[in-house]
Amino acid sequence: FNLLPAFRVKAANISILHEPSQFYNALICGIAGARRRIVLASLYLGCGAHERRLVQSMVSALDAAGSPTRQRPLRVRVLLDAARGTRGSPLNSSTAMLRPLCAAAERRCHGNVWSNRADVRVSFYRCPSLLAALLPERINEVVGLQHMKIYLFDDSVILSGANLSRDYFTDRQDRYLLIRDAPRLCDFLEKLVDCVSDASEQLSSDGCLSQPARPPGQWLGDRVNRLIAEFATSQDCSGESDSTVYAMVQMGPMGVCDDAYATQRLLHQLPQLLQTGQHQLHLASGYFNLTDDFTEALLTAPQQLRVLCASPAANSFYKSTGPSYFIPAAYSQLERQFLAAAAKLRRPAAEAAQPSLLAEYARPGWTFHAKGLWLGDRAGQRVGLTLVGSSNFGYRTRLRDLEVQFGLATDCDRLAARLAEERDGLFQHGQPVSMATLNAADRRAPAWLRLAMPAFKTYC
């Protein structure tokens, strides 16, 4: 992690949220309390009552900020994905939901028209692939998405993998770390969002999206890499802090690969860390599709490893319509391949000592979207390092989407214990999965899907 942007923080300023309702309340409170900036980056914004309240909170915060002539107006930045954000009817999409925010910005500009002096910017990133332009709605989302999750208010930020829709506020489990008093981290994230926004389409109050001056391309990757280098080389002088947040950006199509490189370096060190018997590793992914090198590194390590993924009923595509109906079955096939690899790569002693290597999140009425990694002590009481963010550790993350993941390392025993509690709260809903489970008739993938898996793996 030495080459990554690193931000010193105090453990006392880190809160771990456990429930979707806490996440939603933190968003509402963060927006209401913001005085200088609100920065939201997500895949999409839903179209229900919860989401309307979020937008109205931003409008109210903007109106309360006063005249646009004030020296430090409230800045509001929203970044979403264009393919996902425009899906649906013109009156039932993310663009439609955010029109009132754009209208509020226009009211604050002279002449009641949009101008560069407006302090609101609502951006929709569109994957530059020609294939994405040719494919129909929904299917075009497999090519590449804006998948970063950043929820920032002044100098506080929520690190999460959750999106901005009702399910993520009620009964879709994710992870949420609220970090307060982190101005340098928030400065970096705001600039990162600005970089992507400059390559994105801009929303106006009439619901129209205007094209960017320069579409996404290598120039965007170069600019983001310069931003990363700027913050990686500058010094953070927070001497009293006991924890460090590392930012790992991944934009594979643009040549930004910090997340992939940092994760690979960590994986290469895992065998040495775990061989001592002093550590154990937990990994979670709502969409379990690890890259081959990630799988090999995990499975060749000693036995202190547990993996949690979504059961078919906890998969967000469960009982979906159209081609996405088969997605849960595809992930079951990927689980089967993982266990087959485990049988080949893991030592017999490790298999005997840990028959429950893989578990599925099964909580009635809930879906599972959490992802991350926890490196803890052998006793299971402390977690000294965790990864949290938008990454699922798969091929999409590495090759297609825009992602940001965070590493949190701490020397604070109290925070390390709370991270262990967060991990255990997720894994307590895990049901052990064996090859026999996956070979049951109701879990078998159709023959055509099994044949298509090599191609499917790179798109999910």
Q: In this structure, what CATH number is given to the domain that contains residue 46?
A: 3.30.870.10
Q: What pLDDT is recorded for position 115?
A: 44
Element (H, E) at 288: none
At residue 146, does pLDDT exceed 90? yes
Please tell me whether residues 314 and 216 are part of one structural domain. no
Please tell me whether residues 130 and 270 are part of one structural domain. no
When comparing pLDDT for 363 and 73, which is higher?
Answer: 363
Is 401 domain-assigned? yes
Structure tokens at 433: 């999965």
At residue 354 the predicted structure's pLDDT band, cuts being 50, 70 and 90, is low
Please tell me whether residues 320 and 363 are part of one structural domain. yes
What mean pLDDT is predicted for residues 97-125? 77
What is the span of the domain harbouring residue 376? 243-459
Q: Please pick, among 147, 282, 371, 457, the residue that the annotation labels catalytic.
A: 147
Q: Please pick, among 10, 81, 119, 154, the residue that the annotation labels catalytic.
A: 154
Please tell me whether residues 161 and 185 are part of one structural domain. yes
Is 203 domain-assigned? yes
At residue 155, does pLDDT exceed 80? yes
Q: How many CA atoms lie within 13 A of 184 on its CB side?
A: 18
Question: Which segment of 36-45, 85-94, 179-188 scores lowest on mean pLDDT?
Answer: 85-94
Please tell me whether residues 449 and 341 are part of one structural domain. yes
Q: Are 257 and 221 in contact (CB under 8 A)?
A: no
- Residues 6 or more apart in contact with residue 379 via CB below 8 angstroms: none
At residue 381, does pLDDT exceed 70? yes
Q: What pLDDT is recorded for position 277?
A: 66
Output DSSP code: residue 445.
P
What mean pLDDT is predicted for residues 51-59? 98
Counting the structural domains of the chain, the total is 2
At residue 111, does pLDDT exceed 50? no
| Domain end residue (candidates: 206, 233, 260) | 233
Please tell me whether residues 290 and 169 are part of one structural domain. no
At residue 123, does pLDDT exceed 90? yes
Please tell me whether residues 129 and 212 are part of one structural domain. yes
Nearest to 238 by CA among 3, 11, 2: 11
Active site residue 457: no
CA distances to 286, 319, 453 from 326, in Å: 16, 9, 12
Q: What pLDDT is recorded for position 66?
A: 66
Average per-residue pLDDT in the chain? 91
Is 6 domain-assigned? no
Residue 81 and residue 400: Cα distance in Å, rounded? 13
At residue 236, does pLDDT exceed 80? no
Q: What pLDDT is recorded for position 28?
A: 99
Q: What pLDDT is recorded for position 382?
A: 96
Q: What pLDDT is recorded for position 105?
A: 87
Active site residue 222: no
Q: Are 250 and 403 in contact (CB under 8 A)?
A: yes
Q: What pLDDT is recorded for position 347?
A: 57
- Residues 6 or more apart in contact with residue 267 via CB below 8 angstroms: 293, 294, 297, 298
Is 238 domain-assigned? no
Q: Please pick, among 10, 50, 119, 149, the residue that the annotation labels catalytic.
A: 149
Amino acid at site 367: T
Q: Are 151 and 163 in contact (CB under 8 A)?
A: no
CA 135 to chain centre: 25
| Domain end residue (candidates: 209, 233, 257) | 233
Is 1 domain-assigned? no
What mean pLDDT is predicted for residues 220-224? 98
Active site residue 282: no
When comparing pLDDT for 320 and 391, which is higher?
Answer: 391
Residue 119 and residue 426: Cα distance in Å, rounded? 39
- Residues 6 or more apart in contact with residue 93 via CB below 8 angstroms: 47, 85, 86, 87
Is 54 domain-assigned? yes
For a pLDDT cut of 90, what percent of the chain falls above it? 72
| Domain end residue (candidates: 185, 201, 233) | 233
Please tell me whether residues 170 and 315 are part of one structural domain. no
Is 92 domain-assigned? yes
Residue 98 and residue 405: Cα distance in Å, rounded? 26
What mean pLDDT is predicted for residues 21-41? 98
Q: Are 460 and 394 in contact (CB under 8 A)?
A: yes
Please tell me whether residues 79 and 32 are part of one structural domain. yes
Q: What pLDDT is recorded for position 183?
A: 97
Q: Per this entry, what is the length of the chain?
A: 460
At residue 204 the predicted structure's pLDDT band, cuts being 50, 70 and 90, is very high
What mean pLDDT is predicted for residues 14-40? 98
State the sign of the Cα–Cα–Cα–Cα dihedral 44, 49, 50, 56: positive
Q: 166 by DSSP, 3-state: which?
A: helix
At residue 425, does pLDDT exceed 70? yes
Is 280 domain-assigned? yes
Please tell me whether residues 220 and 366 are part of one structural domain. no
What mean pLDDT is predicted for residues 123-127? 97
Q: What pLDDT is recorded for position 303?
A: 58
Please tell me whether residues 192 and 247 are part of one structural domain. no
Q: Are 263 and 248 in contact (CB under 8 A)?
A: yes
Please tell me whether residues 219 and 251 are part of one structural domain. no
Residue 390 and residue 387: Cα distance in Å, rounded? 10
Q: What pLDDT is recorded for position 117?
A: 45
At residue 353, does pLDDT exceed 90? no
For a pLDDT cut of 70, what percent of the chain falls above it? 92
pLDDT tens readout for residues 62-80: 988 865 555 578 999 999 9
Predicted TM-score of the model (pTM)? 0.94
